[in-house]
Amino acid sequence: MAAYVSGDRRAFEQLFARLAPRLHRFFRRSFSTEATADDLLQVTFLKLHKARETYKSDMRVAPWAFAIAARVRLDEYRRRKRLAEDGDEEALARADEAQAEARAALPPGGTIDGDTADAVRRAVDGLPESQRVVIHLNRFEEMTFAEIAKVLGTTEGAVKLRAFRAYGALRQVLQPMLAEVTR
């Protein structure tokens, strides 16, 4: 990143090669279409390019880049859910939870069948977005809750609560499958 800030074009290519697949997966988990993930990835790298002078060399690059991606993601959700321009992750979480309660997003226990990976993927997809993003950053990007809080612009306590709720919901949905495996 330091080389990129200094103007090395090859450094950008390396940065893109390392971060683009991870950021693309981040967007793909939040939005259902490949085209949306592609568009948001492009917006993120444009913002990353514009903000490169703000990067501090003592920071880890991935959390810094994911903080930019999280803002891009939030902007897209604001647009889609018609949230207020100043709506933050907490507003998105409230809207998500209200919507999830209204449609009972998670399938009832006992309805999961098939391959374990597919079952887990379906269960995670059934979570509200505010919880799904925490699971993604924690499990797949290996970020700490403190890092996730910084990325999402919220408190560590709020992130831990979302993770607690998400993992609880996943346990509930996946319990029948887990019971079969342990027999």
> How many structural domains compose the chain?
2
Q: Are residues 114 and 141 in the same domain?
A: yes
Angle between helices 61-81 and 34-50 (to 10 degrees): 120
User: Which pLDDT tens digit goes with each residue over 85-96?
Assistant: 555 666 556 655
Q: What CATH number is given to the structural domain containing 9?
A: 1.10.1740.10
One domain, residues 83 and 97: no
Contacts of 108 (CB under 8 A, 6+ apart): none
Domain range for 170: 88-183
Residue 169 · residue 127 · CB < 8 Å:
yes
33 shares its domain with 102: no
Choose one of 41, 59, 87: the last residue of a domain. 87
Residue 105: predicted pLDDT: 38
Interval 117-129 mean pLDDT: 83
Percent of the chain with pLDDT strictly greater than 90:
40
**Of residues 178 and 5, more confidently modeled:** 5
Q: Looking at the predicted structure, is the pLDDT value of residue 112 above 50?
A: no
pLDDT: which is higher, 174 or 78:
174
CA separation for the pair 37, 171 (Å, rounded): 28
- How far, in Å, CA of 20 to CA of 42, rounded? 9
